Amino acid sequence: MVIPIVVGTFPGKSKPSDFHEQEIELRLKQLNKPAIKSIHSPDGDIIDCVWIYDQPAFDHPLFKNHTIQRRPRSNSIRDKTGGNKTYIIHQLWRTKGECPENTIPIRRTTRDDLIRSGSIKKYGRKSPPPTIYHTEGAQTEEVHEHTCVYVDYGQFHGSKSRISIWKPNVLRTREFSLAQTWVVNGDWDTGLNTLESGWQILHALYGDKNPRLFAYWTGDTYRETGCYNLDCPGFVQVSRHISLGAALNTFSTYNGEQYDFLLTIEKDQKTGLWWLKFETYLIGYWPSFIVPKLAASARKIAWGGEIVYYTSGRGTHTLTQMGSGHFAEKGFRKAAYFNSLEYIDTSNYPITPSPQNLEATVTRPECYNLQVGSSQRWGTYFFYGGPGRNPHCP
């Protein structure tokens, strides 16, 4: 199998002088739509309330005559909370106001966001791994590490799980740490199609190290299509209560309170739209035409953690943490978790996989690991994470 290597300038090293002001202003105009109302979040974000038909999706030519679907047409998207909760997960900006009817909240992109990303053109997009960067005569490789479980080689209409929220230490600007679900079809050679969502910490994109709700999609193995959140045309948002890319209002602490949220990605049988749901909020949907290999169903559903770091091949492992920053065997209140795992079959019925039916990928168990289990209260679950560099992971 031939894996592409992308060569370029190391991201995050750009200076304001590397960009033309005209390019920056044009890109900001493309990304930031006219606001009916703006809300200043306590974390410094500005959330613009944009008329629903002015959202970025409608910059895509295939959306020219698209009528927004406010809800799934099939009644199969069910609620299953995985237990009673005494708290409400929302986003920080909601403490300062709400968006009016027929608008959606969009995190405003700033000039600093573009400069920090290192590329105006590729802002909001992942690199196709593995990626090699040249910087000051040296080569730097982007390394992805995972601890995840999955079901594969099936026909699936979606994913459900409860994901615990943490604030792991992320060492450098371009490194990230996340917890997410993947809905996948295709392969690396002929074009991987994925729908992804969860929480992440990515300073290069957001300018801070707060855990944020995010979504991502690609129709070609992260090469030319797809992006985070609403940073390109593709995802159609319908909720006025949730802003993709905005910070969550709380996170779990070691030996303290634990917080999680229910995340669902599910295909509407009648329309073919893939809906994203956070707790009880229908955020919006991806149309199948942007991910054509998911038009009928997904082949694979995965859940887990991921970190990215950069190495010249001679250095030590990163100290960037995954999950809580502690290994899976620490257990509840100390390690991060996913519980109430369900995949959705082609009848749109949620199925709990047994631990024995899950496969696992752990790229560096001495750095980050996982443990799978099941119980009456949590269904199928797993703990995961780790500190990164340690005596066993030099």
What residues have CB less than 8 Å from 139, skipping those under 6 apart? Answer: 132, 133, 312, 313
Owner of token pair 């005209």:
22
Looking at 142, 145, 175, 196, which residue is catalytic?
Answer: 196
Residue 196 known to be catalytic: yes
**Residue 373 pairs with which residues in a beta bridge?**
381
Determine the residue type at 202: L
Looking at 142, 279, 306, 342, which residue is catalytic?
Answer: 306
DSSP single-letter state for residue 21: H
What residues have CB less than 8 Å from 391, skipping those under 6 apart? Answer: none
Angle at the Cα of 243 from the Cα atoms of 305 and 151, rounded to 5 degrees: 30
Determine the residue type at 336: A
Residue 306 known to be catalytic: yes
Mark out the alpha helices in 92-207 (DSSP H runs).
111-117, 203-206
Sign of the C-alpha dihedral computed for residues 51, 199, 112 and 290 taken in this order: negative
Quote the distance between the C-alpha of residue 281 and its chain's center: 17
Active site residues: 196, 306
